[in-house]
Amino acid sequence: MPDITGRRIAVLATDGVEEVELTEPVEALRAAGAEVTLVSLKAGRIQAMNEDVNPAGTHQVDLPVAEADAGSFDGLVLPGGTTNPDKLRLDEDAVGFVKGFVSSAKPIAAICHGPWMLINAGGVAGRTMTSWPSLQTDLRNAGATWVDETVVRDGRLVTSRNPKDLPAFCDAIVALFAEAA
């Protein structure tokens, strides 16, 4: 496993985030030595879900997005769940935070419905990506090439489709953040 000790990685999520799409990448990043910060719409705790319908764990927010600066981080993870990115993309601070990573070409990883945030942040045009299948038209309309693959890496962007892809996604994001200096 690559060593990413000292890398500061933001994970942007809110109520409705898919539990395993939050916890498994965070565990993989921490196991590789990264400092992971949960950024959300508000202080306090967020409610994760299993398959969008069953409440799972709650998770302590480390930093409200209104106080977050992309310049303070080395990379970004965007987990899915249907309602999580749908809520986030309606928040100006959240979209602005993601735009900070896009405009500075910092590494970004997104799984499932997470790429919705990249559409709103102007980060998909000209990219080859994957996602939950229902996003393919949205991604294509925003200028991306959508493919149905477990993990897709396009430069400093890694995307995956769903929780079944998490083992490959976690390996790919640790490798991505290891290369980013």
What digits encode the pLDDT tens for the residues 104-147? 999 999 999 999 999 999 999 999 999 999 999 999 999 999 99
Predicted pLDDT of residue 103: 97
- Active site (annotated) includes residue 113: yes
Superfamily of domain 8-179: Class I glutamine amidotransferase (GATase) domain (3.40.50.880)
Burial class (CB in 10 A: 0-12, 13-18, 19+), 49: buried
Query: Is 168 exposed, middle or buried (CB count within 10 Å of its CB: 0-12, 13-18, 19+)?
Result: middle
pTM (two decimals): 0.97
Instruction: Considering the candidates 7, 113, 127, 161, report the single residue annotated as catalytic.
Output: 113
Q: Rounded to an integer, what distance in angstroms lies between the CA atom of residue 116 and that of residue 123?
A: 10
pLDDT in tens, 44-54: 999 999 998 89
What is the Cα–Cα distance from 10 to 137, expressed in whole angstroms?
27
